[in-house]
């Protein structure tokens, strides 16, 4: 039985859409286009004010790999403190060493700082050459769940590995399937993997509400349309929930 439909968002507008669609938990990020980075404190505070469901904040200080320096870890610890101060319910973390193993020392320090917050280990596990060794480290450290695509590009492609992970962890750690989850494939992913939680973005865009602007200027990469606003689609989230209910 599916117990949670988690939706990842990176703006306050999307929080309302995710809740309208029926999400049961939020992963709060910035920069979803980069895989999700730590949200700013203002967004954390406003999410805490407007959320009627649990909100877990991504703790990832930069894009790229999950091999973090001492100063990166300082930032992560400070950001976890900010999550507690903002009144959110949990954090999402992932730390590896140079050999692609879970860095248990750093992970335990992050969990210690989290205190009573819930802790999800994110898709850093999908970069681990020995995923079951990684699961042992994650369980031993005290995480609630791990978000994974089963080491493949999408959760559907990784469904067989996801099932192996579910069988391996039993009730010690929840395996949450994520990456490419849609209404069209969620039932198949669940059937093949036996996961009890799924994670999606429900990505869509809306046009800018600006009436007049200088369209030749770009705020960043010229390939990115500054006047197309990425938002979560309440309809896509609701469609996934409907597909889960009808399976």
- pLDDT tens, residue order, the chain (247 aa): 899 999 999 999 999 999 999 999 999 999 999 999 999 999 999 999 999 999 999 999 999 999 999 999 999 999 999 999 999 999 999 999 999 999 999 999 999 999 999 999 999 999 999 999 999 999 999 999 999 999 999 999 999 999 999 999 999 999 999 999 999 999 999 999 999 999 999 999 999 898 887 667 777 777 778 878 999 999 999 999 999 999 8
CA distance 247 to 226: 39
CB atoms within 10 A of CB 50: 12
Neighbours of 49 (CB within 10 A): 11
Structural domains of the chain ordered from first start: 4-246 (3.20.20.380)
Burial of 83 (C-beta count, 10 Å sphere; 0-12/13-18/19+): buried
Q: Residue 113 has what pLDDT?
A: 98
What is the C-alpha separation between 95 and 107, in angstroms, rounded? Answer: 6
Distances (CA, A) of 47 to 54, 60, 197, 203: 10, 18, 22, 19
pLDDT value at position 110?
98
Burial label for 118, CB within 10 Å (0-12, 13-18, 19+), is middle
Note whether 25 and 91 are within 8 A (CB).
no
Question: What is the C-alpha separation between 243 and 224, in angstroms, rounded?
Answer: 32
- How many angstroms from the chain centroid is the CA of residue 28? 7
Q: Can you state the angle between helices 12-21 and 41-50, rounded to 10 degrees?
A: 30
192 touches 160 (CB < 8 A): yes
| Pick from 146, 150, 153: nearest CA to 176 | 146
């Amino acid at each position: 039985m599916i117990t949670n439909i988690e939706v990842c968002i990176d703006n306050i507008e999307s929080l309302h859409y995710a809740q309208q669609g029926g999400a049961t938990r939020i992963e709060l990020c910035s920069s979803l286009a980069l895989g999700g980075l730590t949200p700013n404190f203002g967004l954390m505070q406003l999410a805490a004010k407007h959320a009627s469901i649990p909100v877990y904040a991504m703790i990832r200080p930069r894009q790229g790999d999950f091999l973090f320096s001492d100063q990166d870890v300082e930032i992560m610890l400070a950001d976890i403190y900010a999550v507690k101060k903002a009144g959110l319910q949990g954090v999402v973390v992932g730390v590896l060493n140079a050999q692609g193993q879970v860095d248990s020392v750093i992970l335990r320090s992050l969990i210690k700082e989290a205190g009573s917050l819930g802790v999800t280990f994110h898709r850093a596990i999908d970069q681990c050459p020995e995923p079951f060794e990684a699961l042992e480290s994650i369980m031993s450290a005290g995480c609630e769940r791990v978000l994974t695509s089963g080491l493949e590009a999408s959760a559907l492609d990784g469904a067989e590995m996801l099932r192996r992970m579910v069988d391996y962890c039993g009730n010690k750690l929840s395996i949450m399937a994520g990456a490419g989850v849609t209404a069209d494939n969620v039932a198949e992913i669940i059937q093949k993997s036996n996961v009890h939680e799924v994670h999606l973005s429900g990505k869509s865009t809306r046009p800018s509400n600006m009436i007049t602007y200088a369209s030749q200027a770009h705020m960043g990469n010229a390939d990115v349309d500054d006047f197309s606003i990425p938002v979560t689609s309440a309809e896509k989230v609701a469609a996934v929930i409907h597909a889960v209910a009808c399976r």
